[in-house]
Structure formats: structure tokens, C-alpha cells
């Protein structure tokens, strides 16, 4: 590409920084220093201390990390939780059977005794963040070699964690890096393990639109579910027990029925999973052309096999609903990401920023010595690992997707083989194995083929189908009965066909992982240097670290957007849109009869808009990503307006570059949530627990 003059490239980068002023996944301990003035200018009525305070209760005490991958919020003084339907989906699936299909039919506990234990589900509260950057840097600085530095780092981290929890054994601690290792915080948390399922609408509401509408606007999904935290008699975390009681939280959210209007202030607090806003151009190419492209192709094939059997058999549908949803969510996101990478010139924009950075560095000898060739090191390492990254992606997406190969791991896990077989269809997985092996054989260089490919050729004449049938017919891992019989007979399962296949895969993994780990070490070290330089170049312009599943706050406004010329999307949808999308012959768009009756009668109670319509979802321009699902969308007083559940298709590159004009957060309106609980579900008694602002 052509080189641009320094002043022009700097103006490109600085203008991008200026555009990012309203974006951001901000750290709560830094709100007072970095954000509160602008937040007040935008309309916030609360102080920074009312949002985050380590000595008194604050908003952060009403928000939890739900199941390790989503967010939820406490909405009553009895530990009641709201989160997304898709966040509770796995727990609901585990509780479902053909006779009690809570995914399809929904469920509402009508009293505490009917609340169902969600085994394995946890929620985690944040206690506090403490900056330990100086302690860690000081400890590591004394070391000379990389090995010594790693040992020093591990030692000081262990000491910091022990100190953080020594006075309160209900706490856990983790030391987490921010700004690519340029800052460190010890985060103390408190995790509750007795969580019970209270209720959820049927999938025809909670998953309305399914794959077709996923990542799309306008949206009409009632994406919510309800759980409750239980504690021991001292209000502390405890394993499940019938003696446990509903948890009394430090703070719960008030719920606003006032709704939203364009330009209203909003903010979201949650646990965004991962962004790569400091991604360089070669990393963007790898993401698009290797990681995303391979995953899109292989998952599409896998999901077709699953869906065929799910449609044909109600038992398989329940077994694979959660697996399918998890797979398809990423599959469609990556399709949208690749599309927007092209439309929004992500690679070219990253390259321009790199050029600006390099010229800024070169203009000063001290900067040249400090930041050197970090950009070149990163991009070169990424290009050099392309072959290994390609093989690894196919290995993880195809052969590693064969469920039977995971069976040996289940024997040592909670639930053991019973849990594995509950959600396993051997006939479905047999079909999947044949397709996944064929894909890997077709797409990957033979030098990376597992040893069993030679067996296929030499003993089965190259017939993958016959080879797979032989494995599944002769393995003890294909049914609970065969497994139990093998254990009872004392058979050594290390000689089982599945164990042999697993070993073959490990050998391939051992060929490529050292190369990938070595390149990652180079990239991580250079990225730390690069990010430090970017922060220095930005100067007084506030910057936020990439998301890493720690609690963050983002703020913005309720806004419509224009995805393309002559098209304007309003900021709110209503139940009318659900009826307009209805298709009785398409499972994604079936509308429950009772919901249609309520709509026809306009029986919306106090939850309707001023024009009499029933709100369903709304938009804001807050900066979110995966992990924010279920996060509370709050108004200027910190009252609950809705639950964040999705991003929009036109800005699917948002994990890499925030797009102010296009990027929107899709939220289910809290009025629709309460309407479904009350009018549709008949569980209006739950509202008596809540602090509702009318």
C-alpha cells in the first residue's frame, strides 16, 4: 500500500481516537478518574460511588457473572435474578425431558418449593478490584531470564491472592492483566453454587426468530429467564441443600416502567468476554481467512446433521438444543464479521493505524528504542504461523467435534457418564463423525493426518463410513450399558477404539501446538510493547482495555440507525412485529396461542406504550460483546430498563473496531419481560418481590 505523510496518518489515528470517545468497556474502579464527568454530561444522575464502592453497597453489588459466560442482575431482596433465555438455556435443557420439556413449553414455579435446582450453575459477585501493577512489575523486574520472570510472576501472584482472601474465606481471588499486560488487578469475588430455576417463557417466545433473526434488527425475541440465588442460614455461599434459603443481596435493582425514548441516557454493567481492539492487520487477516472461514464451513456442516435429527426426534431435539445454540451463535457471528470486515475495510484501516504508529515511533529516538519494531514482530509472527493455525482450526472444529472422543473425559467429571449419555445420541454422532473425518481428509495436508487415516486406507479401502461404523460398533463408550459392562468386566479401556483415536489426535496436536505457543509468546510480548506505545501516543485521551470477562461499564443513548441508503431502523419494536413475522410452518416463527389472544385483546395492562402497543425490544449504542448477554440496561438513575442480548449484523466487526454510526446493542424491554411473566405466564406474584417504579 502507499505510505501516507506523517501528519495525515497521525490525523487518521487521532480522529479515530476522538470517534471512540463515546465507546468503551470501562473499568469500574476508574470511573471517577476517566468517565464520570462525561457520563454526567450525557445525563447520568448517579455518582461514581453509587455505581462502584468497596465500602458501601452500590450498583455493582446487584450484578453477577452468570454461569461464567453471561451476566445477570438481582431484582429483589430475595435473590431473584433476571438473565437472558439463551444464558439460562443450558440449565433449562438439563432439567428438560420429553415428558417435561421446559425448553419448548416454558416453566413457572408458583412458589419457592417449585423452584428447580440448576445443578452445576453458579453466579459470582464482585467484591472489589485492587491495582497491583507496581507490585508485580517490581517482583518481575529483578528476574533476568524469561523463565525466572515467569517464576517470579507466579510467586507474587500466589502471594497477592493469598493476602486478598486471608481475612474472608468466602472470597476467591484472581490476578488479571489489562492493557495486554501493562496493568494488573487482583479481583476478589464471592461465588454462589445453589441456584434454582424459577421460570422462563417457551422457546417460541424466548428464542423467537432463532437462527434467522440472530444478530438482526428489527428483533422480536423475549430473551429472558428467571433464577434465584440460595444461601445458607448466614447468607453465605453453600452447596445445594434443602435447608438453604433465598439470598439477601447487598443491593437489588429498581425496575422502571417508564420505558425509553430516543436520546435517553443508558448504561450497561456486565461481564464482556473478549474484544481485540488492538488487533493488527495480519491478525485481522488470520481471523477472517483462517479462523472464521474454517469455523463457518465446518459448523454449517455439523449443524445441518444435528438439525436433521433434532427435527425428526423430540429426544434428540432436547439433547442437542443447547449444543446447537452454542455452535450456531458463533457460526452466524463469524459470517457477519467476515462480511463487515470487507464492507468496512477493517484490514486496511488497521494497516493505516499501524503506519501512523510506526511513523510516530520513528520520529523520536527514545520512542524508537522503547517501542522498536513491535508492529513488524507481531505481523511477521502471525504470517509465519499460518500453516499451523490452519491445521489447528480444522482439528478443533472437525475431528474434535466428534462427541464420542470426549466420552473418556466424562468419567472423571461431575455427573460422570450418566451426564454424558443423557445428552448424547450415538446415531447422530455416528453420522457426524463420518462427515467430520471426510472434511479433515479433504482440507488438511496429509502430513497432519492422524494415524487412523492409514487404517482407513489399508484396512477399509479408504471407506470412511465403514471405518466409523467399526469404531462405533466396537467401542464401549457408545452406550451406558456397554460402558458399565466393560467396567464390571475389568476391561482396560485404554485399548478401546475411542482411546486409540484420541491418542492419534493428541499426536497431531503435539506436532502443531509447540509452534503455535512459540508464536503466541512472541506476539504477546510484542503486543504489550505496542499497546504501551499506543497509550503513550494517545496521551490524555482516555482509553479502556480489551474485554476479558471482568466487570465493565458502557454508556450511551437510545438511538435508531441507518444500515444503508434510504433505510432507517426505529429504536423500538412491538408485539405487532411478532404477529407480522408469524409462520406456523416454520418452528423459528411459531407464535403461542395465548400470546395471540393477549395481543388481539390488547390485554397489556400497565406495560403498554402510550399508543397502546406492547413494546418488545429496543436499541442503544452501548458498547457490548459476548458475555454481556443478560446485562442490565439502566437509565440515568440506575433503574432497570431491559436486558442486553445481542448486537446488530451491520457492525459484526465491533469486537475489533467500534462503529459509532452503525453499532447498536439489542435489548429486550423490561416491560415485555414483566408482561410475559404476569399476563402470559401467570406468575405475577413474582412482581410483588420487585421494586417497580411506575
- Residues recognised as catalytic: 86, 223, 629
| Calpha distance 300→297 (Å, rounded) | 5
CB 550 within 8 A of CB 254: no
Residue 274 DSSP symbol: -
Provide the grid cell at 397. 472444529
CB 72 within 8 A of CB 87: yes
- Please calculate the CA angle 360-365-371 and round it to the nearest 5 degrees: 60
Provide the grid cell at 205. 417466545
How crowded is the C-beta side of 67, counted as CA atoms within 13 Å?
A: 28
Beta-carbon contacts of 688 under 8 Å, excluding residues fewer than 6 positions away, are none
Q: Is the dihedral of CA 376, 381, 387, 391 positive or negative?
A: negative
Q: Is the dihedral of CA 672, 678, 682, 683 positive or negative?
A: positive
User: Cα-flanking dihedrals φ and ψ of residue 598, to 5°?
Assistant: -65, -40
Q: Which residue has the cell 430455576?
A: 197
CB 450 within 8 A of CB 508: yes
| Calpha distance 647→663 (Å, rounded) | 7
| Calpha distance 367→354 (Å, rounded) | 15
| Calpha distance 325→216 (Å, rounded) | 16
| Calpha distance 608→257 (Å, rounded) | 9
b/e sequence 293-308, b meaning 16+ C-beta within 10 Å: bbbbbbbebbbebbbe
Q: Strand 245-246 vs strand 665-669: parallel, antiparallel, or unpaired? A: unpaired
Q: Which residue has the cell 445428552?
A: 423
CB 222 within 8 A of CB 252: no
**Distance from the first to the final alpha carbon of the chain:** 58
| Calpha distance 75→617 (Å, rounded) | 19
Strand partners, 231: 245
Amino acid at each position: 500500500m502507499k505510505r501516507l505523510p506523517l501528519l495525515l496518518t497521525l490525523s487518521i489515528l487521532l480522529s479515530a481516537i476522538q470517534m471512540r470517545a463515546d465507546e468503551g468497556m470501562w473499568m469500574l474502579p476508574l470511573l471517577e478518574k476517566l468517565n464520570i464527568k462525561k457520563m454526567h454530561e450525557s445525563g447520568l444522575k448517579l455518582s461514581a460511588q453509587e455505581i462502584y464502592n468497596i465500602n458501601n453497597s452500590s450498583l455493582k453489588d446487584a450484578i453477577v457473572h452468570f454461569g461464567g459466560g453471561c451476566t445477570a442482575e438481582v431484582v429483589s431482596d430475595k435473590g431473584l435474578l433476571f438473565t437472558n433465555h439463551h444464558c439460562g438455556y443450558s440449565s433449562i435443557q438439563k432439567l428438560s425431558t420429553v415428558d417435561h420439556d421446559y425448553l419448548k413449553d416454558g416453566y413457572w414455579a408458583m412458589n419457592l418449593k417449585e423452584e428447580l435446582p440448576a445443578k452445576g450453575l453458579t453466579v459470582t459477585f464482585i467484591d472489589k478490584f485492587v491495582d497491583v501493577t507496581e507490585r508485580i512489575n517490581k517482583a518481575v523486574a529483578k528476574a533476568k531470564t524469561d523463565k525466572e520472570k515467569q517464576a517470579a510472576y507466579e510467586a507474587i501472584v500466589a502471594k497477592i491472592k493469598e493476602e486478598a482472601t486471608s481475612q474472608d474465606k468466602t472470597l476467591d481471588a484472581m490476578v488479571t492483566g489489562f492493557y495486554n499486560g501493562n496493568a494488573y488487578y487482583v479481583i476478589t469475588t464471592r461465588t454462589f453454587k445453589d441456584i434454582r430455576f424459577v421460570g422462563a417463557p417457551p422457546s417460541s417466545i424466548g428464542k423467537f426468530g432463532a437462527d434467522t433473526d440472530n444478530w438482526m434488527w428489527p428483533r422480536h425475541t423475549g430473551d429472558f429467564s428467571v433464577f434465584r440465588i440460595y444461601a445458607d442460614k448466614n447468607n453465605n455461599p453453600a452447596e445445594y441443600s434443602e435447608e438453604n434459603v433465598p439470598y439477601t443481596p447487598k443491593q437489588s435493582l429498581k425496575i422502571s416502567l417508564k420505558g425509553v425514548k430516543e436520546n435517553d441516557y443508558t448504561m450497561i454493567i456486565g461481564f464482556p468476554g473478549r474484544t481485540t481492539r488492538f488487533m493488527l492487520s495480519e491478525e485481522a487477516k488470520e481471523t477472517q481467512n483462517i479462523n472464521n472461514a474454517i469455523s463457518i464451513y465446518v459448523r454449517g456442516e455439523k449443524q445441518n446433521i444435528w438439525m436433521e435429527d433434532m427435527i425428526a426426534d423430540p429426544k434428540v431435539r432436547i439433547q442437542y438444543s443447547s449444543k446447537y445454540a452454542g455452535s450456531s451463535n458463533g457460526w452466524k457471528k463469524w459470517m457477519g464479521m467476515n462480511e463487515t470486515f470487507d464492507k468496512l475495510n477493517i484490514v486496511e484501516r488497521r494497516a493505516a493505524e499501524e503506519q501512523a504508529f510506526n511513523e510516530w515511533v520513528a520520529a523520536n529516538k527514545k520512542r524508537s528504542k522503547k517501542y522498536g519494531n513491535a508492529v513488524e514482530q507481531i505481523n511477521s509472527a502471525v504470517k509465519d504461523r499460518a500453516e499451523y493455525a490452519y491445521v489447528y482450526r480444522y482439528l478443533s472444529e472437525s475431528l474434535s467435534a466428534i462427541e464420542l472422543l470426549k466420552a473418556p473425559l466424562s468419567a472423571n467429571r461431575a455427573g460422570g457418564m450418566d451426564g454424558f449419555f443423557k445428552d448424547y445420541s450415538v446415531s447422530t454422532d455416528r453420522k457426524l463423525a463420518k462427515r467430520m473425518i471426510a472434511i479433515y481428509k479433504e482440507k488438511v495436508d496429509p502430513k497432519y493426518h492422524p494415524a487412523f487415516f492409514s487404517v482407513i486406507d489399508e484396512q477399509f479401502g479408504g471407506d470412511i463410513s465403514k471405518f466409523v461404523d467399526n469404531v462405533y460398533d466396537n467401542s464401549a463408550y457408545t452406550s451406558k450399558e456397554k460402558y458399565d459392562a466393560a467396567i464390571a468386566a475389568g476391561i482396560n479401556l485404554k485399548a478401546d477404539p475411542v482411546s486409540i483415536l484420541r491418542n492419534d489426535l493428541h499426536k497431531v496436536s503435539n506436532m502443531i501446538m509447540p509452534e503455535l505457543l512459540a508464536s503466541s509468546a512472541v506476539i504477546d510480548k510484542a503486543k504489550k510493547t505496542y499497546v504501551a506505545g499506543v497509550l503513550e501516543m494517545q496521551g490524555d485521551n482516555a482509553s479502556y482495555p480489551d474485554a476479558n470477562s471482568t466487570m465493565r461499564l458502557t454508556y450511551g443513548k437510545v438511538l435508531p440507525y441507518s444500515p444503508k441508503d434510504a433505510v432507517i431502523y426505529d429504536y423500538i419494536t412491538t408485539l405487532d412485529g411478532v404477529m407480522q413475522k408469524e409462520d406456523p410452518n416454520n418452528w423459528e416463527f411459531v407464535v403461542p396461542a395465548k400470546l395471540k389472544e393477549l395481543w388481539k385483546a390488547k390485554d397489556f395492562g400497565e406495560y403498554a406504550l402510550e399508543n397502546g402497543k406492547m413494546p418488545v425490544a429496543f436499541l442503544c449504542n452501548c458498547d457490548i460483546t459476548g458475555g454481556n448477554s443478560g446485562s442490565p440496561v439502566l437509565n440515568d438513575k440506575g433503574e432497570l430498563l431491559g436486558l442486553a442480548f445481542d448486537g446488530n449484523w451491520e457492525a459484526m466487526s465491533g469486537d475489533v473496531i467500534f462503529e459509532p454510526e452503525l453499532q447498536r446493542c439489542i435489548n429486550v424491554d423490561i416491560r415485555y419481560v414483566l408482561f410475559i411473566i404476569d399476563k402470559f405466564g401467570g406468575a405475577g406474584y413474582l412482581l410483588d418481590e420487585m421494586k417497580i417504579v411506575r
